[in-house]
C-alpha cells in the first residue's frame, strides 16, 4: 500500500490523491492548539451533538446555539435528542469494537460523571482539547477546580465545561401545607416529617433518571456517617454499610409519597408538571432557576418559591466531550468553544432561554460583558442570592451506578 508521501512522487493524478489523503487525515485529527486551522476546517461541517432532549428549555437553547453556529462559523449543528446518555457510550464502544475509528456517528456529547468515566476507561474520547479552547481561560480553573474535575475524576482536557447544576427545592407557598407557620423542610429528616404530615404531596423521579439518582446521592450524603467513603471507588468501601441509612430512610418515606411510592414520575420536568397540575406542593430540580423560568412562562403559579437545604445541596458542572472517532472534530471543538463564549453563556443563563448558571468567572470578563450576567432578581421564584454558597461535591462516579442498581433491586418492581 502506498503512503501519501510516496504517492507524491508518481505524477499529477497520484499527487492529487496524496493531497486528498493528507487533507482527510488533517480533518480527522485537527490540532487543538492551531485554532485558526480548526476554524477553517470546521466551516461546512455538520456536528451531530448528542444531548438529552427531555426538556423544552434545553432544546430551545440548543436550537439557538445551532443557529449561531451556522451564522458565525458555517457549522451545522444537529441535536440528536437522547433519553439516556449511556446509549452514547454503548454506541461509540460498539463502533470501536467494529473497527470504525474514523467515521463515528457522534461528534459531540453532553456528558458527565459515570458516562465520562466509562468513555475514558475505554479510550473513547478525543483529546486533550478543552484547555486549548480560546474561551476556556474565562473559567479560571485555578480558582474553580470544579471545571476540571468530574465526579472526583480529573478531566485532563477530555471534556469542556458549559454549565452548572445544583439541587434546588421549590414549593407553592399558597398551598395548605405551607400556610400559617408551615415552612418548607430544610433537611432530609424534616422532609420525612413533612411528607408524613402531607402524604402524597412530594415525590422524586424514578431511577435511573438522572435527577432521581441525584436525589439518592443528596440523601445519602446527609444520612450516612461514612461520607469519606463516597469520594473513593465503591469497591474500596462496604457498600451495604454505607448505604444502609439511605434504604431505611426510603423505606419510611415511600409510603407517604405521591401515589404512595408505588409509581414514580419519569423525569424532573415531569415533577414540574405535577406541581403545575396541583398534584404536588413540593418538588426539586437540578437546575436552580427551573421554577423561576416556569413561573415566568405561566407554567407554575406566582406563589412558588425556591430554596436549598440548610446543609447545602449537591452540585456539579456539566460538560461536552468529543468521541475519538468523530469525523467532524474541528466543528465539535468550534461548538465547545462557542458554548464557553460570554454571549452563549449569558444567553444560557437568561430566563428567556434556559436559566442554566454560567461556568465563567465573571471577574475574567470585560466591563462590557459583565452586565450580561447581572441577576434577574425581579422574579420572586428565584433562589436567594446566597443560596449556593454551600455546594456539596459529587461522590466518586461509581456510586451513581451502584446506587441505581441497588434501588432497582429494592423498589424497581413497584
**Per-residue pLDDT tens digits for 81-115:** 998 899 999 999 999 999 999 999 999 999 988 89
The grid coordinates listed for 192 are 420525612
d(CA 335, CA 160): 10
* Sheet bearing 304-307, strands edge to edge: 282-285, 168-172, 304-307
Nearest to 168 by CA among 21, 305, 31, 342: 305
Work out the pLDDT band at 385, boundaries 50, 70, 90.
Answer: confident
Q: CATH for 30-164+318-373, among 3.40.50.10490, 3.40.190.10, 2.60.40.10, 3.30.1360.30?
A: 3.40.190.10
CB atoms within 10 A of CB 30: 24
Q: CATH for 168-316+388-411, among 3.40.190.10, 3.10.180.10, 3.40.50.620, 2.30.42.10?
A: 3.40.190.10
User: Of residues 11 and 139, which shows the higher confidence score?
Assistant: 139
Res. 237: pLDDT tops 50: yes
d(CA 71, CA 161): 23
Read off the pTM: 0.85
What are the tens digits of pLDDT across the range 315-341? Answer: 999 999 999 999 999 999 999 999 999
pLDDT at 377: 60
Does the fold of domain 168-316+388-411 match that of domain 30-164+318-373? yes
What percentage of the chain has pLDDT greater than the value 90?
Answer: 79
Q: What DSSP line would sit under 22-59, residue for residue?
A: HHHHHHHS--TT-HHHHHHHHTT-EEEEEEE---HHHH
Domain boundaries, given as residue ranges, for the chain: 30-164+318-373, 168-316+388-411
Do residues 361 and 140 lie in contact, with contact meaning Cβ atoms separated by under 8 Å?
A: yes
Amino acid at each position: 500500500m502506498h503512503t501519501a508521501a510516496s504517492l507524491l512522487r508518481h505524477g499529477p493524478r497520484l499527487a492529487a490523491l496524496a493531497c486528498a489523503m493528507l487533507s482527510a487525515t488533517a480533518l480527522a485529527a485537527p490540532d487543538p492548539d492551531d485554532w485558526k486551522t480548526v476554524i477553517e476546517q470546521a466551516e461546512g461541517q455538520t456536528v451531530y451533538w448528542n444531548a438529552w432532549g427531555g426538556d423544552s428549555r434545553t432544546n430551545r437553547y440548543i436550537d439557538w446555539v445551532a443557529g449561531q453556529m451556522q451564522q458565525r462559523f458555517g457549522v451545522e449543528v444537529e441535536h440528536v435528542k437522547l433519553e439516556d446518555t449511556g446509549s452514547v457510550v454503548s454506541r461509540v464502544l460498539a463502533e470501536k469494537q467494529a473497527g470504525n475509528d474514523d467515521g463515528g456517528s457522534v461528534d459531540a456529547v453532553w456528558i458527565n460523571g459515570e458516562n465520562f468515566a466509562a468513555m475514558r476507561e475505554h479510550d473513547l474520547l478525543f483529546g486533550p482539547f478543552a484547555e486549548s479552547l480560546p474561551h476556556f481561560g474565562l473559567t479560571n480553573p485555578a480558582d474553580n477546580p470544579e471545571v476540571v474535575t468530574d465526579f472526583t475524576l480529573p478531566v485532563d482536557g477530555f471534556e469542556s465545561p458549559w454549565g452548572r447544576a445544583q439541587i434546588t427545592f421549590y414549593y407553592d407557598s399558597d398551598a395548605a401545607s405551607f400556610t400559617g407557620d408551615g415552612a418548607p423542610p430544610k433537611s432530609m429528616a424534616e422532609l420525612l416529617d413533612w411528607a408524613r404530615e402531607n402524604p402524597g404531596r412530594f415525590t422524586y423521579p424514578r431511577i435511573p433518571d438522572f435527577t432521581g439518582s441525584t436525589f439518592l446521592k443528596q440523601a445519602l450524603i446527609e444520612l450516612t456517617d461514612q461520607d469519606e467513603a463516597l469520594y473513593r471507588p465503591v469497591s474500596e468501601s462496604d457498600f451495604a454499610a454505607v448505604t444502609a441509612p439511605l434504604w431505611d430512610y426510603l423505606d419510611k418515606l415511600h409510603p407517604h409519597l405521591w401515589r404512595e411510592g408505588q409509581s414514580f414520575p419519569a423525569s424532573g420536568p415531569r415533577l414540574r408538571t405535577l406541581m403545575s397540575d396541583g398534584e404536588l406542593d413540593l418538588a426539586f430540580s437540578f437546575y436552580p432557576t427551573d421554577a423561576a423560568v416556569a413561573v415566568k412562562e405561566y407554567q407554575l403559579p406566582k406563589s412558588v418559591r425556591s430554596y436549598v437545604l440548610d446543609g447545602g445541596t449537591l452540585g456539579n458542572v456539566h460538560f461536552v466531550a468529543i468521541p475519538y472517532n468523530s469525523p467532524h472534530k474541528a466543528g465539535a471543538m468550534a461548538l465547545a468553544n462557542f458554548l464557553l463564549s460570554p454571549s452563549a453563556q449569558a444567553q444560557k443563563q437568561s430566563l428567556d432561554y434556559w436559566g442554566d448558571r454560567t461556568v465563567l468567572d465573571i471577574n475574567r470578563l470585560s466591563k462590557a460583558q459583565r452586565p450580561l450576567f447581572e441577576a434577574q432578581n425581579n422574579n420572586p421564584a428565584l433562589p436567594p442570592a446566597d443560596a449556593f454558597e454551600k455546594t456539596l461535591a459529587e461522590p466518586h462516579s461509581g456510586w451513581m451506578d451502584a446506587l441505581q442498581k441497588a434501588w432497582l433491586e429494592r423498589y424497581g418492581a413497584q
